[in-house]
Amino acid sequence: MVLFSDLYREMRFLAKQRYIVFFLLAVFLLSVFSVWSGVVETHQQQSTIERLIEKDTVDRESVLASQVDFGDAAYYSFHVTYDEPSSLAFAAMGQRDVYPWKHRIRMLALEGQIHETDAENPELSLLGRFDFAFIVSVLLPIFVILLLHDLRSGEREAGRYDLLIVTAKNQRKLWFARAFVLSASLAMVMLVPFIVGAVLMQAPILKTGLMVLVMLGHLLFWVVVTMVVGRIMLARGQSSPRIASVLLAGWLVLTVILPVVGETVINQSIESPNGGEIVLLQREAVNGAWDKPYSATWEQFLVTHPEWEQYTTMESSFHWKWYYAFQQVGDQQAAELSQAYRDSIVKKDDASGILSLISPPMLTQRLMLSLADTDVEASLAYEQSVRDFHGSLREFFYPLLFKKDDFNSQELVNIPTYSPNRTH
């Protein structure tokens, strides 16, 4: 068992190694920057959502006050939908950089409104933005390799190895104590900024603790790998640079090559329509309805809404109920393609999950995104909440459009308002 005296000795030894102290300071500053930038980004997203909600309410009230029929009220009133960042999103922004987290929805065909929004930073999906999850999953292995690759070989090259072995009461305790002190120091300089950020963001204790465990688990994996590889190669007479090269090659394979090649294979093997195809199909259906007989629209609309069969009579060439009916039909035409798109996202994410089982850095990142509610599942949950809300708008306006001939502004008092399905 390693005694406190052994650890204290190694701590004193570490404190005298200026390059190690400066290295740990650099890691600390990187961790501080990643947490700080994540907190700033989270606050910016929250502020954006708050401003949009405030302006959305004022704008909608102003628009509705000037309307004289229900069709115009539905057409000109917009509704902001949003997915607030979780209290741990500062540590792992994840899919919030890839998929939209806000929309401005009205009661027109929905698919175009969802898929016409472009991701702000799609290039970040390769390795991710420089947040805490990036440091833990991508850079942490490099830090461990740089600190521990020459734990034994460095002493041999400095001519101290034989003396240390002779004077040490227990050789294993010696190397374990040194590795423990270095690893614990690395963990501390990385975790302190994260924990401070979690406290400031009022993150749940349980999820914060789980994220700490994920980080420590990844750290332990690379410590063990580095120690084992270093010992084996030292026994074969390999130098410190050679050991570092092999370890860095392993990092490159597990952290970059395997995920990138794997994602490429997954994307090529799982067929998926793109958002542009969905938007095009839906808009062709909507625009084409103007040139078709009314009966063609009603026939398709009544397949999903048979309850309005007795209310399709039109006294003029245009009626709002017909207009919104072919908006609905446009979504119906694109429904199969849209579902295939969402299914392909789930399949790709599941395949990536399997791939991550042989890539600890990838697995670490996925676990952190899951804890921060910024993974693919969270993005799809938000999209579903938008679909549910849009459905509630249709349920609210259809009775007014089909049954009410006289406009009454009081009927609009109970117009649905968006509220997120998820709580963080």
Tokens 């509705």 found at: 64
pLDDT in tens, 114-129: 987 644 444 444 445 7
Please answer whether residues 321 and 404 qualify as being in contact, where contact means their C-beta atoms are separated by less than 8 angstroms. Answer: no
Please answer whether residues 88 and 108 qualify as being in contact, where contact means their C-beta atoms are separated by less than 8 angstroms. Answer: no
Q: How many CB atoms lie within 10 A of CB 44?
A: 11
Q: How many CB atoms lie within 10 A of CB 200?
A: 12
pLDDT in tens, 287-309: 999 999 999 999 999 999 999 99
C-alpha radius of gyration, the chain, whole number: 29
The helix/strand/coil state of 371 is: helix
With a cut of 50, say whether residue 180 has pLDDT above it. Answer: yes
- Give the whole-angstrom CA distance, residue 252 versus residue 258: 8
H or E stretch covering 209: helix 205-235
Helices 205-235 and 171-200, interaxial angle, to 10°?
Answer: 150
- Give the whole-angstrom CA distance, residue 378 versus residue 96: 9
Burial class (CB in 10 A: 0-12, 13-18, 19+), 55: exposed
User: pTM of the full predicted structure?
Assistant: 0.89
Mean pLDDT of 162-186: 71
Q: Considering all CA atoms of the chain, what is the largest pairwise distance in Å, rounded to the nearest integer? A: 103
Mean pLDDT of 105-122: 78
| DSSP structure string for 142-201 | HHHHHHHTTTTHHHHHTT-HHHHHHH-S-HHHHHHHHHHHHHHHHHHHHHHHHHHHHHHT
pLDDT in tens, 195-218: 999 999 999 999 999 999 999 999
